Amino acid sequence: MSLLHLVVLAPFVLAILVPFLFKYIRQVHTGWFVMILPLTLFIYFIQYLPIISRGDTIHEQQPWVPSLGMHFDIYLDGLSLLFALLITGIGTLVVLYSIYYLYNKKKEALGNFYVYLLMFMGAMLGVVLSDNLIVIYVFWELTSLASSLLIAYWFHKERSRYGAQKSMLITVSGGFAMLAGFSLLYVMTNTFSIREIISQADVIITNPLFIPAMLCVLAGAFTKSAQFPFHIWLPDAMEAPTPVSAYLHSATMVKAGIYLVARLTPVFGAAPQWFWIVSGFGIFTLIWGSISAIRQKDLKAILAFGTISQLGLIMSLIGLGSAAFHYDVAVVGTLYYTATLAAVFHLINHATFKGSLFMIVGIVDHETGTRDIRKLGGLMTIMPITFTVALIGTLSMAGIPPFNGFLSKEMFFTAAINATTLDIFNMQTLGILFPIIAWVASIFTFAYCMLMFVRTFLGKFKPEKLEKEVHEAPIGLLIPPIILASLVIIFGLFPNLLAYTIIEPTMASILPNVLAEGERFYVNIYHWHGFNTELFMTIGVVLFGALVFLNLKKWSETTFFLKERDPLNWVYDNSLVWIVSGSTKVTNMQMTGLLRDYFVFMGVFIVGLMGYTMVKYNIFAIDLVNIAEVSPYVFILVIVLLATTVLLPFISHRITAIIATGVIGFLVALLFVVFRAPDLALTQLLVETVMVVLFLLAFYHLPELRKEKFTPRFKLTNLLVSIGVGAVVTLTALSAHAMSYANPIQSISEYFIENSYELAAGKNIVNVILVDFRGLDTMLEILVLAIAALGIVVLVKLRMTGGEDV
C-alpha cells in the first residue's frame, strides 16, 4: 500500500481517535488536533504540483477484490490534484474556523462533529483520487452519509433533521442511479478502471447501453451538485453549522458532481446528448438559482441559491467544453476550449469567494444572533474587518474587477458567445440562448450580491432587533475568511500563477487527446481585452443589476417574493407523503399478524419464482434409473416424522408441544446420519438439544394456557400452496439429481470436491464452503448478529435521564 493510499485512509484513522481526544484531553480544543491532519495533507499534495504541471501522472495500485475487478487504485492527475488541494486546503481553514465558532458552546458534542468532518474529508479524497468506479461509489455514498450527519448535527432542531433527511434521500437516490450507470459501463468495457474505460471511449459510444449509462451517471452527478430539479436539498442543508456550509456546500461536496462530470467527459463528451444535457441543465440551474436567491431573507439562504447558480454555471461550461471533441486537432483553438478553461478557473475562484462569504455570514450570525437581512444593517462601522472581507468576496461573486470572479465571469461570457458560432447540434440557432441566459442570470447575481451586502453592512443599525451586543469577531474567526479573501485578490491580480501549475493540467485531464501529442493548452488570463462584447455585457450587468436591486421594494409584496421556498419542494414533500401512505397500505396488507398468511406469501413467492425459472429454462428432468434404493427403516423414520409434524398443531399442552418439536428435530438429525452427513447431524443435534432445553426453561415460568376450543378449518388456499411448494421442491430435487448425472462436469459439487483442499487447504468440504467459498456470506451473517447483539447490550445498559445528547 502506497503513501497515497494512506493519505486517503488517514482521516478515517484520526476519526477513530477523536472521541478519545475529546473525552480525555479537555484542556485543549479537539479541533487543534484535527487541524494538523488536513494541513499536513495539503502540504503533502503541494509537492506534486511540479510533477503534475509537467504533464505527468501518478498511478498507485492496490488489489481489493481482484476476482470482481475491484481495485483500490489511486490516480493523481491535474483534475484530482486540484480537488485534493481544495479538500485539504479549505478543510484546514474550516477546522480552524470551527475551533472559534464552536469554542464557547460547552454542550456541543465536538467529538461527533470532528468525527463526521473527518469521515467526510476522507470520503471526498477517496472520490477524487480513486481510479476504480466501485471504489468511487463507496466513497461517494460515504460523503452523503457524512454530509447528512453534519447537517443534522444540531439534531434537536426539526429543520436540521428535515434537511439531513432530504439531502440523504436525494443524493443517495442519485448515487444508486450512478451505480447502475457504472455497472452498465462495466458491461460495455469489462473493467471498472476509469483510465481503461476512457481508452475504450470510441467503442463505448456505439454501444446501445451508452445512453442509459450516461443518463444514470448524470443523475448521480446532478443530485450531488444540486442541479435543477434536484437542487432543493441544498437550501435546507443550510441548517448545518456554518463551518459545515463553508466546507461541504461551497467548496467540496457539491463539487463532487462537477468532478464526476469532468472526469467522465472523455467517455461521454463526444455524444451530442451529453453536450445538450450537461450544458442545458447547467445553464437553466444558473438562472433558476440566481432568480431564487433574490427573494431570500436569510443570508445563508441567499448564499445557498447563489451556490446552486454558480454550480450551474460551472456545469454548463463543462458541457460547452465538450464541443472540443467534435473538431479536428488542427482547428481546435481557443474558441473551443475557453469553456473548459473558464470552468476550471471558476471552480477555484468559487471555492475562495464563496467559502469566505459563508464564513462571514457565520461571523454575522455568531456576533448578532441573526441572519435575517430585515433585522440587520449598519454593521460596517462596528465590524470593519468583517465588512472588508465581505466586500471583497461579494464583489468577486458579482464579477467586478480586479477580483478573480471578474476574470472567470468574463471567460464565461466568452464561452457563451463562442457557443453561437459552433456548427454542431443546431447551435447556429439555439446557441443564442446561452449568452442571453448567461447575461440575465449575471444581472440577478449582481442584484443578490448587493442585497446581502447592503442590507447587512450599510444602512441603519438596528440594535433593538438583535439578540446580542454587536462587536467585531475574534481574530480566530477572522483569519480563515481573510486568507480566502487574500486569495481572491491574489488570483485576481496574478491569475497566471495558476495557469500552468494547476489549470492547464486539469484541462488536459478533462480534454485528453484533443491536442496533438506534445502540445499543451494555451492559458493566459488577463483583465483587459479591449472594448469587446464581454465588457459591454459586464457594464450592462452592473447597470441592470443595480436597477433590479433598487426596485426590490416595489416587488417585495408580490407572490414571487413572498414565497421564499422553492416550488419544487411541494413535489418532494408530497412525494414523501404518497410514499409513506402507499407503503403503509402495502405493509398493512402484508403484515396481518397471522403466521399462516406469512407462510402463504413465502410459499407463493417460492412456487412462482422457482416454477417460472424451471419453465423458462426447461430444466424439468426425472431419472429414476440412478436413484439409490431406500432402506425400509428410512420409510419408518419418514412416517414417524410426518405423523409427529401433522399432530403438532393439535397438541394443547406446552411441554408436550416442545417435546414433539424436539422429536422432529432429532428425527431429522437421524436422517442426516442415515444419508452420511455426520457434520449436519451433529449440528442439528446440538442446536435441537439447546433449543428444547431453552424452551422448557422459558415456558416453565409462563402462565398456564387458557383452555380454548379448537376446531380445525379447511382452507383451500392452504392446501393449494402446500401442494405447490411440495411439488416444486420435489421436482427441483429430482431435476437436480437427474441433471447431475446427465452433465456431471457442470455439477458444482465436483468443483468443491476438486478444489476444497487445493484452494482452501481444508478436507472438510462443508466447512470450506462456509468459511472460504462463501466466506463473505458468513462474515456478513456474523456482522448482522454482532450488530443485533450490540443493540441489545445498548438497550439493556442504557438509562436515559433526559438531556444526555443535548
Q: Return the closest-CA partner of residue 727 out of 577, 620, 591.
A: 620
621 in Cβ contact with 738 (< 8 Å): yes
Grid coordinates given for 41? 495533507
pLDDT digits (tens, 9 = 90+) for 212-234: 999 999 999 999 999 999 999 99
Grid coordinates given for 55? 504533464
Q: How confident is the model at residue 44 (pLDDT cuts 50, 70, 90)?
A: very high
Interhelix angle 78-101/110-129, nearest 10 degrees: 170
Is the pLDDT reported for residue 70 higher than 50?
yes
Q: How far is CA 770 from CA 749, 753, 760, 791, in A?
A: 14, 14, 11, 26
Please give the Cα distance from 267 to 288 (Å, whole number). Answer: 29
Side chain identity, residue 379: L
Please give the Cα distance from 423 to 55 (Å, whole number). Answer: 31
Which residue do the cell numbers 457524512 mark? 146
The residues that bridge with 63 in the sheet, in sequence order, are 71
More confident residue, 222 or 338: 222
Q: How confident is the model at residue 330 (pLDDT cuts 50, 70, 90)?
A: very low
- A 10 A CB-CB count for 579 gives 11
**pLDDT score, position 345:** 96
244 in Cβ contact with 163 (< 8 Å): no
Q: Return the closest-CA partner of residue 297 out of 53, 552, 631.
A: 552
Exposed, middle or buried by CB within 10 Å (0-12, 13-18, 19+), for 632?
A: exposed
Q: For a pLDDT cut of 70, what percent of the chain falls above it? A: 94
Residues near 605 by beta carbon (within 8 Å), at least 6 away in sequence: none
**pLDDT score, position 737:** 76
**Secondary structure of 709-722 as H, E, C letters:** CCCCCCCHHHHHHH
Please give the Cα distance from 8 to 12 (Å, whole number). Answer: 8
Question: 77 φ, ψ to 5°?
Answer: -135, -165
Please give the Cα distance from 689 to 641 (Å, whole number). Answer: 17
Residues written for the chain = 806
Output the pTM of the full model.
Answer: 0.84
Residues near 55 by beta carbon (within 8 Å), at least 6 away in sequence: 505, 508, 520
Which residue do the cell numbers 473527518 mark? 118
Grid coordinates given for 654? 406446552
Question: 580 φ, ψ to 5°?
Answer: -65, -45
Q: How confident is the model at residue 710 (pLDDT cuts 50, 70, 90)?
A: low
**pLDDT score, position 266:** 94
**pLDDT score, position 746:** 61
62 in Cβ contact with 73 (< 8 Å): yes
Please give the Cα distance from 353 to 347 (Å, whole number). Answer: 10
Q: For a pLDDT cut of 90, what percent of the chain falls above it? A: 54
Is the pLDDT reported for residue 332 higher than 50?
no
Please give the Cα distance from 452 to 445 (Å, whole number). Answer: 11
Task: Average the pLDDT over 365-383 and give the result.
Answer: 91
Question: 649 φ, ψ to 5°?
Answer: -65, -20
Q: How confident is the model at residue 328 (pLDDT cuts 50, 70, 90)?
A: low
Is the pLDDT reported for residue 485 higher than 60?
yes
Q: Which of 90-99, 407-416, 507-516, 646-655 has the lowest mean pLDDT?
A: 646-655
Is the pLDDT reported for residue 537 higher than 90?
yes
More confident residue, 76 or 751: 76
Grid coordinates given for 62? 492496490
pLDDT digits (tens, 9 = 90+) for 659-695: 888 888 888 898 888 888 887 888 888 888 988 888 8
Task: Name the pairing type of β-strands 58-60 and 70-71.
Answer: unpaired
Which residue do the cell numbers 437542487 mark? 231
Evaluate the omega torsion of the peptide bond into residue 495 and state whether it is cis, within 30 degrees of 0.
Answer: no
Q: Return the closest-CA partner of residue 84 out of 122, 123, 115, 125.
A: 125
DSSP string, 326-351: GS-GGG--HHHHHHHHHHHHHHHHHH
Q: How far is CA 481 from CA 98, 387, 487, in A?
A: 12, 11, 10
Is the pLDDT reported for residue 712 higher than 90?
no
Is the pLDDT reported for residue 645 higher than 90?
no
**Secondary structure of 583-632 as H, E, C letters:** HHHHHHHHCCCCHHHHHHHHHHHHHHHHHHHHHHCCCCCCCCCCCCCCCH
More confident residue, 690 or 629: 690
Task: Average the pLDDT over 18-45 and give the result.
Answer: 91
The residues that bridge with 75 in the sheet, in sequence order, are 59
506 in Cβ contact with 318 (< 8 Å): no
- Count, in order, helices (H) and strands (E) of the chain: 34, 4
The residues that bridge with 193 in the sheet, in sequence order, are 132
**pLDDT score, position 801:** 61
Grid coordinates given for 688? 435441537
Q: Return the closest-CA partner of residue 43 out of 9, 95, 7.
A: 7
Residues near 205 by beta carbon (within 8 Å), at least 6 away in sequence: 270, 271
Q: Return the closest-CA partner of residue 357 out of 502, 216, 246.
A: 246
**pLDDT score, position 547:** 94
Q: How far is CA 37 from CA 31, 44, 48, 115, in A?
A: 10, 10, 18, 13
Q: Return the closest-CA partner of residue 75 out of 67, 86, 83.
A: 83
Please give the Cα distance from 490 to 187 (Å, whole number). Answer: 47
Q: How confident is the model at residue 399 (pLDDT cuts 50, 70, 90)?
A: very high
More confident residue, 391 or 806: 391
pLDDT digits (tens, 9 = 90+) for 777-790: 888 889 999 999 99
- A 10 A CB-CB count for 515 gives 17
**pLDDT score, position 744:** 57
pLDDT digits (tens, 9 = 90+) for 150-189: 999 988 889 999 999 999 999 999 999 999 999 999 999 9
Please give the Cα distance from 161 to 805 (Å, whole number). Answer: 14
Task: Average the pLDDT over 336-350 and give the result.
Answer: 92
**pLDDT score, position 331:** 47
Please give the Cα distance from 758 to 761 (Å, whole number). Answer: 6
Is the pLDDT reported for residue 652 higher than 50?
yes
More confident residue, 468 or 107: 468
> Given phi > 0 = left and psi -120 to 50 = alpha, else beta, which region is 97?
alpha
Q: How confident is the model at residue 105 (pLDDT cuts 50, 70, 90)?
A: low
Please give the Cα distance from 510 to 504 (Å, whole number). Answer: 10
Task: Average the pLDDT over 376-396 and give the result.
Answer: 94
Task: Name the pairing type of β-strands 74-76 and 70-71.
Answer: unpaired
Task: Average the pLDDT over 629-641 and give the result.
Answer: 83
pLDDT digits (tens, 9 = 90+) for 79-92: 999 999 999 999 99
**pLDDT score, position 168:** 94
81 in Cβ contact with 7 (< 8 Å): no
Tell me how far the alpha carbon of residue 773 is from its chain's centroid.
31
Please give the Cα distance from 224 to 221 (Å, whole number). Answer: 5
Write down the mean pLDDT value for the chain.
88
Exposed, middle or buried by CB within 10 Å (0-12, 13-18, 19+), for 302?
A: buried
